Amino acid sequence: MLHRLSTKRPKRIVQKTYKIQAHPGTTLASTLTAVTIILIALIGTSNFRYYAALDARKATAQTTAARVALMLCENWRGIQGSLSYDPVAYLGPDLNVVPDKGPDKPDDFTFLGSYKIVMDEQKNDAQGVDYYVTLSWKDIQPGLRALNVIVTWAQRGQTGFENTNKTFTLTIYTLT
């Protein structure tokens, strides 16, 4: 029996050769570069937040100091600048005010008293600030008296008069 011979040529196994391409991967250098960039961005963001928080705290302390000065001035003015005015008697014990050290009075004013005022005790509020106050007065002319209040506090949150580094001064006038 004749077999029909195929005219096709037998298949040959051809080995294909593939060129292995070296794709660039993540190297140590590129990783460190990325880490450095991330760190710079992170430090920048943290810096911004730190100063924003710090400035907010400074602003709060200064606003409170201004309020304390205004309250004392108007309290004192309510009794026509009486020279027997004592904040402890008028405002204590509801307000934590006690005689203590205080900033220097203006040169041409007469000293009345120095006090320490604690608005929010640090056991209740870690941001609490102690304020040191000096009251002084000066007769401008008969029947007209200038009332001066100087408030000082520590901006960095320390306690103690020796750490105070910021001052707010208010002078108002009253008829006596």
Partner 1 sequence: MVELMITIVIMLIVGSAIGVVIVDSQHGWNLMYDHINSDVVTDGYVARKKFDSTIRKASGESISLGDDGGWVEVYYCASDSSTAPDRYARFYKADRDLKVMYGKLAPKVTLDTDTICGNVSGCKFKQAGRSVQMILKLNDGTQENTIVTSAMTHN
- What is the binding site for partner 1 (CB under 8 A)? 26-28, 31-32, 35, 38-39, 42, 45-46, 49, 52-53, 56-57, 60, 67-68, 70-80, 90-91, 94-95, 119-120, 124-125, 127
Residue 27 to residue 68: CA distance in whole angstroms: 61
Nearer CB in complex with partner 1: 79/144 = 79
Give me the least distance between CB of 33 and partner 1, in Å please. Answer: 12
Nearer CB in complex with partner 1: 90/109 = 90
Q: Which tokens belong to 70?
A: 């205004």
Nearer CB in complex with partner 1: 38/104 = 38
Annotate 126-164 with b (16+ C-beta within 10 A) or e (fewer). eebbbbbbbbbbbeeeeeebbbbbbbbbbeeeeeebeeb
Give me the least distance between CB of 174 and partner 1, in Å please. Answer: 9
Give me the least distance between CB of 58 and partner 1, in Å please. Answer: 11
Residue type, 103: P
Residue type, 127: Q
Nearer CB in complex with partner 1: 56/104 = 56
Nearer CB in complex with partner 1: 80/158 = 80
Q: Which tokens belong to 137?
A: 């007065």
Are the CB atoms for 119 and 131 separated by under 8 Å? yes
Give me the least distance between CB of 99 and partner 1, in Å please. Answer: 18
Give me the least distance between CB of 143 and partner 1, in Å please. Answer: 16
CA dist 74 → 3, 79, 110, 165 (Å): 126, 9, 18, 25
